[in-house]
Structure 1
Amino acid sequence: MPGTRIAALGHHQPSRVLTNAHLEALVETSDAWIRQRTGIATRRIAGEDESVTDMAAAAAAKALAASGQAPAEIGLVTVATCFGIDRCPSTAAQVAARLRWPYPWPDLPPPARSRGLDTAPPMMWLPSHSGVSHPGPLTCPITETEEGIVRMKAVIVCASVSHGNTRRIADSMAQVLDAKVVSPEQADLAELAGADLVGFGSGVFYQRLHPRLTDFVKALPTGRGRAFVFATSGLPELPLAPFTRPLVQLLEGKGFEVEANFSCRALDTMMPFKLVGGIQKQRPNDGDLAAARAFAARLRVS
């Protein structure tokens, strides 16, 4: 690009050093054999508590300091990596937050990040005279109007009864959507009517979502808006009879546009599983929670 130049560079590497001598003690090799074929004498190893985000933020801070510019003068934050810890918020979003980059942004959808491109924000730059100031990543849907940037409102109605597992899934989604999580009894109808996106979820009891949730939806006034449905269960859904289908049909009958469904396994101690202490005792696990966040991220950009 004409006029483009590199203003400054920053570098960071982990403190732990792995030498060829160390490798000789681990595998059948030698310093001479490695040097002859690769030229490598030492390599750096990240610590257990040191992530790509940590290293990228440290290097970016050095580059920013060397450039003599303030965070607000930076127009784009990009991280190229295949080893990001979180699907959402993206590594670039987390690095920008640590740099105190003062602008909100939507993340790139997961397919783009899967190709190693991790950018905040995509196709959007808020100049410093816009009047918008935010000390960290805005991890909720946003819309742009003539008046400026407005946060999209999201609410999650969750009936979590037995072990709190459905609430864990709801909270993971809420982190991405910046959503308020409420029980059916706590839900405010005016707040739901004013929300841009509403999630409805519960555990599954004998192949059905909890009646606290379904009865709540049945009593809703007819309206319209975006919605999604989620569930946790001990047994997997049947392709021809998903747990969420009746609730989706109820919501569509109320005028909602149901954009997507999510389900995952969770501890189930209902009979007869109670006799053996339950099934899916380790679920939802970290992978399930990450999948919930990824699902929410897709809703943000749909």
Structure 2
Amino acid sequence: MKVAIAYYSRHHGNTKKLLDAIKEMGNVKLIDVVECNKEDLSEYEIVGFASGIYFGKFSEKVMEFARNNLPEKKKVFLINTYGIKVSNYTKDMEKVIEKKGCKLLGTYGCRGFDTFGPLKLIGGIAKGHPNENDIKGVIEFFRRIIEK
């Protein structure tokens, strides 16, 4: 099964750590949306989008990539990392997916080391995340996605 995952992972590379763990599980192409803004996703059976959470939502670069490149009627999943869980961080991405008539297979989110803004003054939060349990969680999540 061919899977593509478009992602944005900067600052501490939290999201990329999760993607590196699942990349080993099959035919997975990782697409860094900073380096690539156009990609033909029609040949992939499942498309994932992954991002750290910035100002309460997915990176704008990932959302723009999805708006411009996601074909209609695809199976889609979402992965995100966040410092503190306070709301539904995926709602804007879900709107993009819905507008394309795609089916959302699931969402995985976990904590990630965060030193944004004032958090830098206190040394950040969620140090050590994603940890081993977070990585096991994303591997199990991805296994369920590709078995659906």
Contact 2:37 2:65 (8 Å CA) reproduced: no
| Cα distance change on mapping 1:286 and 1:175 into 2, 3 Å | same
Residue 218 of structure 1: aligned partner: 67
The structure with higher relative contact order (CA 8 Å, sep 6+) is 2
Closer/same/farther in 2, CA of residues 194 and 188 from structure 1, 3 Å limit? farther
| Alignment match of 2:90 (pick from 244, 251, 255) | 244
Q: What does residue 107 of structure 1 align with?
A: none
- What TM-score, normalized to structure 1? 0.46
Aligned to 1:156: 5
Aligned to 1:264: 110
| TM-align CA RMSD | 1.5
Higher strand content, 1 or 2: 2
**Do 1:156 and 1:174's aligned partners in 2 also have CA atoms closer than 8 Å?**
no
Q: Residues 123-168 of structure 1: CA distance to partner in whole angstroms, max 9, x if unpaired?
A: xxxxxxxxxxxxxxxxxxxxxxxxxxxxx11111110011111001
The amino acid of 1:286's aligned partner reads E
Gaps of 5+ in 1: 1-151
Shift of the 210–194 alpha-carbon distance from structure 1 to 2, 3 Å rule, reads same
| Mapped partners of 1:296, 1:199: distance in 2 | 10
Structure with bigger gyration radius: 1
Determine the structure 2 residue equivalent to 1:291. Answer: 137
SS at match of 2:49: strand
1:108-137, Cα deviation, whole Å (9 max, x unpaired) = xxxxxxxxxxxxxxxxxxxxxxxxxxxxxx
What is the CA distance between 1:255 and its match in structure 2? 2.4
In structure 2, the CA distance between the partners of 1:295 and 1:187, relative to structure 1 (3 Å rule), is farther
Q: Distance in 2 between matches of 1:167 and 1:221?
A: 21
Q: Unaligned regions of 5+ residues in structure 2, if any?
A: none
Distance in 2 between residues matched to 1:178 and 1:300, nearest whole Å: 11
1:1-302 residue pairs with structure 2 within 5 A?
Answer: 152-184=1-33, 185-186=35-36, 189-190=39-40, 192-220=41-69, 222-238=71-87, 242-302=88-148
**Counterparts in 2 of 1:173 and 1:221: CA distance versus 1, 3 Å:** closer
Structure 1 moving runs of 4+ over 3 Å? none
Deviation of 1:237 (Å): 4.2
CA 1:177–1:187 in structure 2 vs 1: closer, same or farther (change >3 Å)? farther
Equivalent residue pairs, number: 147
